[in-house]
Structure 1
């Protein structure tokens, strides 16, 4: 090959490299485009239900449903860069509105978790509720929320609002609630809760997303390592109802003060109940945002960090999930196939004066924040 041929050949290689580099750059830009879409996916109770899809600049996606103000899907990358879903969900609105939906990704209220005997007394009046758990027979998880997109610089947000009328499910006061979901470019999913009332009422809000960080590689989450920043937990009796006592986790199967797989001590818990369904009293009781828990899934390398302003977190190990119920893509659920980390005030606080206050009064504004942060690590 003479000098002229070599020069032409090298020029051709340089041009090919530039074209390839430009194409790669364009594809990268396309892959990192952030957006929000809104789609009507059906009706419940004669009302339209909408699904939002939020995608940030890393390609991570979060899907939301106006039925139950629910997180229906979170798609993140594993340590190899492969994107897959890390939460349980259903394929249709009919499934979400059906009896088999175990609060899948839902916003839970007016009072999440439990109130003993369906009763409480507030300001001299006794109130009787429709149920002792999760806000009543038709709690916030079974309501259709209004929604709107919120413009924030470099952030994607959807605000959902619901007006709970005085007497709904037995609770006093007209309550205006807003839940804002934000997907940030650092892969934070931020949930901001706000509420006001015209009459004193108990209020405990949480989100009930079921996580399986393996992205489908594991049907159970027993190998997921969990850390909870709590030295104490709420003693509970029948039906996981707190007794009012707060105990130390030391030398108990509830000790997650250092990383431990969910499955390591679960059999010790299952001697008494069907698995973990425990409220931890977090070290942080200041009302300011702080790390509450961390989960690591070794196969995928995914890490979930949970930050909250709340005093407690409920760890639920998916004890009642079963193969009779089919989730997304027709895949059956399995017992312990996912876990929940529900940030909230303590269960039955309205009947337990020693627990942190859960009563919201007129002229006050309830405000709470929880962040689900998604990361990856190699080992």
Structure 2
């Protein structure tokens, strides 16, 4: 575990970077601004280490106007509410709450100053499970329009089993919606190494939640059978992207919540949500979670305007996000699992990213 200076915020507060390695050489760097994972190096099938997440080497890049306009949320912790809330509005206990609208008519990822732009308190630790970082932040009552003071604790643990375990915990003083997630973009060839269209993806979901033209769920739980959203068998991400599909037209690609298949009686334990295989490098990423949903985003709005730490631009579809979550707009969708946290409850969610390699044939090009 090493700590170093990463830069200074405009108000003079210092941002630190924590470098964490496991016994197998996997290395992760995290900053306490936004809880951002700025890099994550894992070996390919030949043992070569590459950074497999999109990110920057300097704080200035995360604070730049270009980044803020693109707003991709690279590597950040997301809260209070990951994903979208329709019209930035919900009613709870008879009171209507208005949030900032920062995504067309809707609120995205907690508002225009979400947890991704907050300076968290960081505390390194070492345990029998591995080495990691505990990040804490207290969101005041009324911040971004949300009710209640929310005390949030997120731990990143890099284990010697080559897993990154993320534990989210929160307590509130008033009933409030909570939906925390992590927004890393992955490219298993290495960041800046082309598109993710050849990555083969499996999602353990037989249903998804279709969206309207503003990317808000319609409320329907739709069967994936016979659609481009059926990833129950490993499929190259680019295999069906050329199909004419209203959902693709709305989202400019994949930007959808999948309803994860859960084993009865195991809702409180992480179960497999997704698996990604990159054929050339042989890298494998598996995602397990206690959450009921997974947002798969195919980097639709990356346009080359942002240049990563490799010095190469992040072009269209050069990274994918797999955000474990409750469903978008749940406060306004009574048929979705509830995201309301009450003062006598503790919010707890766990997601595990597992890194490995495999020998696989090369996929077709898209």
TM-score by length of 2: 0.92
In 1, Cα distance between equivalents of 2:79 and 2:192? 33
Give 1:164's aligned residue.
Answer: 139
Query: Counterparts in 2 of 1:285-300, with a 5 A limit?
Result: 286-300=267-281
Q: How far does the alpha carbon of each residue in 1:19-78 deviate from its partner, in whole angstroms, 9 at most, with x for none?
A: xxxxxxxxxxxxxxxxx1111211113211111010111111011110101111110000
User: Displacement of 1:307 after TM fit?
Assistant: 0.4
SS at match of 2:4: strand
In 2, Cα distance between equivalents of 1:67 and 1:93? 9
Number of aligned residue pairs: 344
Of the three residues 168, 181, 196, the one matched with 1:193 is 168
Structure 1 gaps, min length 5: 1-35
User: Displacement of 1:271 after TM fit?
Assistant: 4.0
Give 2:347's aligned residue.
Answer: 366
In 1, Cα distance between equivalents of 2:256 and 2:18? 32
Does the 8 A contact of 1:97 with 1:142 survive in 2?
no
Give 2:182's aligned residue.
Answer: 207
Query: Counterparts in 2 of 1:1-379, with a 5 A limit?
Result: 36-44=1-9, 45-99=11-65, 100=67, 101-131=71-101, 132-153=107-128, 155-216=130-191, 218-268=193-243, 269=245, 270-284=248-262, 286-379=267-360
User: Displacement of 1:102 after TM fit?
Assistant: 1.2
User: Displacement of 1:272 after TM fit?
Assistant: 4.3
SS at match of 1:264: helix
User: Displacement of 1:111 after TM fit?
Assistant: 0.4
User: Displacement of 1:217 after TM fit?
Assistant: 8.0
User: Displacement of 1:98 after TM fit?
Assistant: 2.7
Give 2:363's aligned residue.
Answer: none
Give 1:9's aligned residue.
Answer: none
User: Displacement of 1:288 after TM fit?
Assistant: 2.3
In 1, Cα distance between equivalents of 2:161 and 2:150? 33
| Larger CA deviation: 38-47 vs 210-219 | 210-219
| Larger CA deviation: 201-210 vs 39-48 | 39-48
User: Displacement of 1:160 after TM fit?
Assistant: 0.3
Give 2:104's aligned residue.
Answer: none
Q: How far does the alpha carbon of each residue in 1:267-312 deviate from its partner, in whole angstroms, 9 at most, with x for none?
A: 2254443110010000117232100000000000000000000000
Give 1:19's aligned residue.
Answer: none
Does the 8 A contact of 2:191 with 2:308 survive in 1?
no
User: Displacement of 1:325 after TM fit?
Assistant: 1.5
Q: How far does the alpha carbon of each residue in 1:305-327 deviate from its partner, in whole angstroms, 9 at most, with x for none?
A: 00000000000000001112211
Structure 1 residues 219 and 283, CA, compared in 2 at 3 Å: closer, same or farther? same
| Larger CA deviation: 349-358 vs 271-280 | 271-280
In 2, Cα distance between equivalents of 1:223 and 1:303? 13
User: Displacement of 1:154 after TM fit?
Assistant: 5.5
Does the 8 A contact of 1:287 with 1:311 survive in 2?
no
Q: What do you get for the CA RMSD once the two structures are aligned?
A: 1.2
TM-score by length of 1: 0.89
SS at match of 1:330: coil
Does the 8 A contact of 1:267 with 1:275 survive in 2?
no
In 1, Cα distance between equivalents of 2:57 and 2:41? 15
Structure 2 gaps, min length 5: 102-106, 361-366
In 1, Cα distance between equivalents of 2:140 and 2:250? 39
SS at match of 1:242: coil
Higher helix share: 1
In 1, Cα distance between equivalents of 2:236 and 2:280? 13
| Larger CA deviation: 100-109 vs 74-83 | 100-109
